[in-house]
A = this chain, B = another copy of it.
Amino acid sequence: MSVTAAKGFTAAGIAAGIKENGNPDLALVVNTGPRRAAAGVFTSNRVKAAPVLWSQQVLADGELTAVVLNSGGANACTGPKGFQDTHATAEKVAEVLSDRGAPVGAGEVAVASTGLIGVLLPMDKLLPGVEKAAGELSAHGGEKAAIAIKTTDTVHKTAVVTKDGWTVGGMAKGAGMLAPGLATMLVVLTTDADLGAEDLDSALRQATRLTFDRVDSDGCMSTNDTVLLLASGAAGVTPARDEFAEAVREVCADLARQLIGDAEGASKDIRIEVINAATEDDAVEVGRSIARNNLLKCAIHGEDPNWGRVLSAIGTTSAAFEPDALNVAINGVWVCKNGSVGEDRELVDMRYREVVITADLAAGSESAVIWANDLTADYVHENSAYSS
């Protein structure tokens, strides 16, 4: 499963001692070929962590042999020393992999980190950890790798789609600081399909645009978001471009849904469907505005179908609509019709974890879905009681 579901990959997850509680905190994913094509998508936050800057650079040639990931520290806002540490980590991975087979350069190794911003990584623990992880690499190591990248995640997240002779699989971590472009997440996807970097890049961008970029748990954008897709070609099959893109989208959608389902302190997963928009951009803008409205998020937590807060969120956007033509349904009950009172709000059943808000802009035929969470006292507690 996970990143080792596709042929041509090994992985490991170990406890290097970066986390003080002794939990697993270092993962290694290695592409054993024959191809080493790769693509990546990174945070659009202008304050980027050292590993993001590094990985963007090494991906420029569309090839990766390995990805090393650590939890327990984001290595963001750590200055030149932080970048040197990322570089040293990649060098160490190259060294230990070269010791075990064909020569690997640091420029073939992506690095991803997650945890507290503004703290240097304990390199005296991380580098020996790389050595230990390399010793445990296995074609069945995907699950352990997924476990090692958890931070406040309560469960590890993996997904696999298998098609005719080829597979796309992946792992993700992310529980807070989840917002568009991308959610705070580290994701590694692997495939044994025989494809080049350009096809990977195209499929990955299409997929993230409709999945991770439409997850908005708490409106906060991370400094470390990284989504990588590696292809080994080990299946010896070259799928049609559309079929491959759809498989990548499926895996990303599955992982994105798991991220929302495990968001910090959340008691509800909110599916916001914006329909009849003039453009897809309008639909996304409105969906995000609803997703980020703290008052509405509190109301959903309280199982209160407070559609007035939906309308006030729509009203802050520049999307095309007429206020007196707006319709809003909560869990299928059209509580707002023509911008005013609609069906009886007492009819809305909000007992279940998933809540669906449908916002009908009555301005066209485009639509979009944004996933969000409610705002809870547990979220406040989890993010105020200690640094993360």
| Cross-chain contact of A384 among B76, B223, B301, B313 (Cβ < 8 A) | B301
- Residues of B with C-beta under 8 A to A306: 117, 387
Mostly helix, strand, loop or mixed at chain A's interface?
A: loop
Name A341-388 residues within 8 Å CB distance of B: 341, 375-377, 379-387
- Residues of B with C-beta under 8 A to A312: 45, 47, 76, 117, 177, 220-223
List the B residue with the shortest CB-CB distance to A292: B219
- Whether A384 lies near B302 (C-beta < 8 A) is yes
Stretch of A201-209, A229-237, A248-256, A332-340 with 4 or more beta carbons under 8 angstroms from chain B? A332-340
Q: Is the C-beta of A78 less than 8 angstroms from some C-beta in chain B?
A: yes
- Whether A220 lies near B294 (C-beta < 8 A) is yes
Interface string of A67-86 (1 = CB under 8 A from B): 00000001011110110000
State A76–B379 Cα separation when bound (angstroms): 30
Q: Is the C-beta of A116 less than 8 angstroms from some C-beta in chain B?
A: yes
Q: Do A117 and B311 contact each other (CB < 8 Å), given the known contacts A295-B218, A301-B380, A341-B78?
A: yes
- Residues of B with C-beta under 8 A to A313: 220
Beyond contacts A46-B323, A47-B311, A379-B380: 5 other A-B pairs, Cβ-Cβ < 8 A, are A117-B306, A117-B309, A118-B336, A220-B312, A294-B375
Name A275-326 residues within 8 Å CB distance of B: 292-295, 298-299, 301-302, 304, 306-309, 311-317, 321, 323-324, 326
Which residues of A come within 8 Å of B, CB atoms? 44-48, 74, 76-79, 81-82, 116-120, 176-177, 218-223, 292-295, 298-299, 301-302, 304, 306-309, 311-317, 321, 323-324, 326, 336, 338-341, 375-377, 379-387
- Enumerate 27 A-B pairs (CB-CB under 8 Å) in ascending A order: A46-B316, A47-B326, A48-B323, A76-B311, A78-B340, A79-B324, A79-B338, A81-B340, A82-B340, A116-B308, A117-B306, A117-B312, A118-B307, A119-B341, A219-B293, A220-B293, A220-B295, A221-B312, A221-B316, A292-B292, A294-B294, A294-B379, A295-B383, A298-B384, A299-B387, A301-B380, A304-B387
How far in angstroms is the closest Cβ of chain B from A369? 22
- Give the copy number: 2
- Residues of B with C-beta under 8 A to A380: 298, 301, 375-377, 379-380
- Residues of B with C-beta under 8 A to A119: 341
- Residues of B with C-beta under 8 A to A220: 293-295, 309, 312-313
Q: Do A295 and B177 contact each other (CB < 8 Å), given the known contacts A118-B340, A311-B117, A323-B46?
A: yes
Q: Do A315 and B79 contact each other (CB < 8 Å), given the known contacts A117-B309, A301-B380, A308-B118?
A: no
